[in-house]
Amino acid sequence: MPIYEFVCEKCGKEFERIVFGSDTDKVKCPACSSEETRKLFSVFASTGTDKALASSCGSGQSGGFS
């Protein structure tokens, strides 16, 4: 069951919803009940890798990845 992030085009509220299949166009805003919502691009979180990724991105230093 995927959890998606949405923003309401009417009031600007950002919220999350569990959405099944292609029901992303049927999501209502919890603050104002508007159906004018848009799915946001979500970034997946990984614990324990942020320092290795940060040090290996264009800094010329050897990071945790080869």
What is the pTM assigned to this prediction? 0.59
Select from 32, 24, 33, 31 the least CA-distant residue to 6: 24
Beta bridge partners of 3: 18
Per-residue pLDDT tens, the chain, 66 aa: give them: 688 899 999 999 999 999 887 777 789 999 999 999 999 987 665 555 555 555 555 555 555 555
Beta bridge partners of 16: 5
